[in-house]
Structure formats: structure tokens, C-alpha cells
Amino acid sequence: MIHDSLIRERLVTGDKTASDVTRDISRPILNQPTSAWKIGFTLSVVFLAIFVVSLFYTLWTGIGVWNINKSVMWGWDITNFVFWVGIGHAGTLISAVLLLFRQKWRMSINRSAEAMTIFAVVCAAMFPVFHMGRVWVGYWALPLPNAFGSLWVNFNSPLLWDVFAISTYFSVSLLFWYIGLIPDIATIRDKVKTKTSKFWYGLFSMGWTGSTRSWARYELVSLILAGLSTPLVLSVHTIVSTDFATSVIPGWHTTIFPPYFVAGAIFSGFGMVATLLIVARKVMNYENYITIGHLEAMSKIIMVTGSIVGIAYITEFFIAWYSGVEYEQYAFTNRMFGPYWWAYWSMMSCNLLAPQVFWMKWARTTPWFIFTMSIVVNVGMWFERFVIIVTSLHRDYLPSSWVMYSGSLTEIGLFLGTFGIFFTCFFLFAKFLPVINMAEVKSILRNRE
């Protein structure tokens, strides 16, 4: 028999009914944009403009406007690529892995996390694409028959695996997100008044009526997509890590990279989800949907994955020492005490030490504090990629090839600019689509056991 749970805390507070959910979640879509939205959107567009200018300068003049040099051939760009791909992992993790584990708290946050995934992957894709230099021949990375003889792409190369992994991840995440959106777009379609809105929401809801037959298939498809996306998420960051791990650069060729990168990706992804949702719940008055319970659950995941990443850092050191390989040992000592010590220690303190505060219940349940911590996590994870890339490359086997590297103004502009892309997309999403999955939230209003 179905009955209400006496011990489990409610996932949605405030005694909401189904129509309250529709009203609350569709309010930003049906009403005029608020001034908070306008300010945020304008700021994002300013950053987007920085991206466009930096990109134009790069394309017009050439990759030489970046400070990458001989031996540090991957600098800010690949750091940013891995940073954004990592952020893009939480969305599918929340919707897929937590769906398989029947974690119902995911329902209030999965929509915005999936949107974040898609926008983050778009940002990530910018960097390897433009790092190619001649972006107009970027399609050479695809296995297409070409006019230059029977030359095909190299299936032994992790860089090619990346092409397949990232494009598959992006398309499957988009499909997953869109299928999940259809019932909610239908709800909006039946609420909007103007002819234009009715047309667009009608077009994208594709005639959804909420028939029991459709729901049964919808749930089955969601489950199978979740089952597919789970190994997909793991494969994507594993493949990103093999970009490094299959090389023979000291500091890179370690077998621990795949699990370590996946944990790091989940860590940074949840960091970004927390950053976005703590602001969104405040600005859009969604405190009853994204409750302290949700924030606490996310904080716990941040703490666990942060600790996993920390153990990976320490294991790398141990193995470098234990291997007895001089170059490997030097690479790691150089990370800690070399010229980039500040980057290394920023990474260590942000990723390993800082999240340990979440052992305290106060820290896990105080929104402003979690917000601060989420920023710390994002900074830390950017430094992690910077440390891995730059400290491993800047001192080659020959001391005569030793160089220093710092990002040029254009590289910094491109990085800041991707925040413009990300937030512009996110603000548009928050204005035109429901940021919380209404249909799923309606199904958990009663605290069933």
C-alpha cells in the first residue's frame, strides 16, 4: 500500500500542489524579465563580446598571439578545455547516475544541471577547435573520404577518440535534455497567451498530451538513456585523461589518470551546479524546490569527490617516488617547490583541504558558505589542469629547453569570454524554458514510500 513517509524529509517543501508547481516554475517564462535577469544577461553579453574580440584577434593574426611556446605547446587553451569538459560532467551524472540509483532529490536540479552540461561542452569545444589554428579545415578531424589521397584519421590517437567522445556526449546529452523537456514545454504551451509563444512552444512540444501510453514509453526511454549515458560520462573524461596519460611526458603518463579525472570532473561539475543553483534559488524564489536538503546532498558529493581527487594527488607522488624514475621524481618535486609552486598549492588547498569543512553540518547547510566553497572548488579545479599541463611541459628533458609560460591577454580574454557564452546561454535558458523539471517534481510532491 502507498502511504506517506513519516521519517523521510520532504523533497519539496511549502505544501505545494501540482498547480503551484506550474505557477512557480513558469513564472519567469510568462512574465516580463526581472531587473536581476536584465543585469545578469547584460553582463554575460559583455563577456561574450570579450570572447568574440579575442577570437577575432586570434583568427586574424594567428595562434602566435597566444603565449604557447616550444615545449609548453598546451597552455591556457587546453587547461580551459579540460576545465569546461569537467564542468560538463555533473549534468549527465545527476540525471543519469542518480536516476539509476533512484535518487529522487535529483529531480529539482537535473534540468538546470543538464543545461549546464550542454553549455559547458559548447565552451569546451571552442578551445581544441581554435587551437588547431586553421579552424576552417577542422573537419579533417572527422573520418571523411578526402581529396588528398586515401588518408584516414588515426584510430590509435586519443585526440581522435576525443573527437568521437565529445561529439557523442554533446549530442546524447542534448537528446536526453530535450526528451525530458517535452512534457514541460507542453505545459508552457497550454499556459502562454500570445500567438508567437503558442507557436514556438507548440512547435517544440510536438503535440504532447500526457497520454499514459506516452508516459510509459517516456519513462522507459529515460531509463535506457540513463543507462547509456552513465558509461558515456565515464568514457568521456577517461578519454580526455588519455590525451595526457598515453604520452611519455613525466607527470602525464600515469595509469591513475582516468579515475582521477572522472572524480575531478564530478567534483568541479557539482561545484558549478552549486554556484548556479544557489543564485537561481534565491533570485527566482525556488527555495521550496531546491531546499537545504539538496544543497547538503551536493556538498557531501563535493566533499567525497574532493577527497578522492586529493588521494589521487598523493598517490601520484608516492608512485613517482616508488618508481625510482629520476625524471618522474623531478617532475613532481618541481610541481611542489618549482617556479609554479603557487599554482600547485592553490590546487591542493582548494581541492583537497577546503572541501573537508563539509564534515561540519553547519557548512553543508549554509547557502552563502556553500556558494563561497563552490567558487573555491572551481578555482581549484582550474589550477589542477594548469598544474598538470604547464608544470609537466615547462621543463623538458633538456635543461636548455626549459621555459616559463603565462597566458597572454588574448588567452585570458578567451577564457573569460567562455563565461560569457556559458552565462548568456544559461540566462536565455532561464527565461524561455522551465529550469526545474515540473512533471517530475509534481510526481514527488507527496512523500511516498
Partner 1 sequence: MGILDKNLSLRNRNKILVGVWEDEDALIHAAEVLVHKGINIHDIYTPYPVHGLDRIIGVKRSRLARVAFLCGTTGLILMISMIYYMYVVDWPINVGNKPVRFTPSWIPVMFEGTVLCTAFGMGFFFFWRNRLLHGVKNDLLDDRQTDDRMIVAIETTESMNQSEVIEMMKSNGAVETREYVNGVQTVI
Q: Does 17 bind partner 1 (CB under 8 A)?
A: yes
Residue in the block written with cell 566553497:
373
- Closest contact distance (angstroms) between CB of 156 and partner 1 is 4
Binding-site member from 6, 19, 137, 195 for partner 1 (CB under 8 A): 19
Least separation in angstroms between CB 295 and partner 1: 24
| 18 touches partner 1 (CB under 8 A) | yes
Residue in 137, 136, 117, 129 with CA at minimum distance from that of residue 162: 129
Of 47-55, 117-125, 150-158, 255-263, the segment contacting partner 1 by CB under 8 A is 150-158
Residue with cell 565552451: 123
Rank residues 18 and 360 by Cβ distance to partner 1 and give the closer one: 18
- Amino acid identity, residue 384? E
Q: Is 213 in the site for partner 1 (CB under 8 A)?
A: yes
The CA–CA distances, whole Å, from 43 to 28, 114, 424 equal 19, 23, 9
Out of 5, 42, 146, 211, which residue is the one contacting partner 1 (CB under 8 A)?
Answer: 211
Number of residues this chain uses to bind partner 1 (CB under 8 A):
64
Non-local (6+) Cβ contacts of 22 within 8 A are 187, 191, 438
- Position 30 contacts partner 1 (CB under 8 A): no
Residue 280, SS3?
helix
Q: Which runs of consecutive H residues, i.e. helices, occur in 284-393?
A: 292-323, 326-337, 341-347, 361-364, 367-386, 392-393
What 3-state DSSP class applies to 70? Answer: coil
Does 440 help bind partner 1 (rule: CB under 8 A)?
yes
Q: How far is the CB of 444 from partner 1 (least distance, A)?
A: 9
Give the C-alpha distances (Å, rounded to integers) separating 101 from 95, 96, 124, 398: 10, 9, 28, 51
Residue 214 lies near partner 1 (rule: CB under 8 A): yes
CB of 42 vs partner 1, minimal distance in Å: 32
End-to-end CA distance of the chain: 9
Contact pick of 39, 45, 132, 224 for partner 1 (by CB under 8 A): 224
Closest among 172, 187, 193, 200 to 31, alpha carbons compared: 193
Considering only 79, 92, 95, 205, the residue that binds partner 1 (CB under 8 A) is 205
Question: Interface with partner 1 includes 38 (CB under 8 A)?
Answer: no
Candidates 28, 88, 128, 183: give the one binding partner 1 (CB under 8 A): 183
Region from 230-238, 279-287, 313-321, 385-393 binding partner 1, contact rule CB under 8 A:
230-238
Per CB under 8 A, does 140 bind partner 1? no
297 contacts 273 by C-beta, under 8 angstroms: no
Q: Is 165 in the site for partner 1 (CB under 8 A)?
A: yes
- Judged by CB under 8 A, does residue 106 bind partner 1? no
Residue with cell 534540468: 111
In whole angstroms, give the CA distance from residue 226 to residue 98: 9
> Residues 80-105, buried b or exposed e (16+ Cβ, 10 A)?
bbbbbbbbbbbbbbbbbbbbeeeebb
Phi, psi at residue 278, to the nearest 5°? -65, -35
> How many CA atoms lie less than 13 Å away from 346 in the CB half-sphere?
18
- Residue 42 touches partner 1, criterion: CB under 8 A: no
Assess 160 for contact with partner 1 (CB under 8 A): yes
CB of 108 to partner 1, least distance (A): 14
The contact set with partner 1 (CB under 8 A) reads 2, 17-19, 22, 143, 150-156, 158, 160-161, 164-165, 168, 171-172, 175-176, 179, 182-183, 186-187, 189-191, 202-221, 224-225, 228, 231-232, 235, 239, 438-440, 442-443, 446
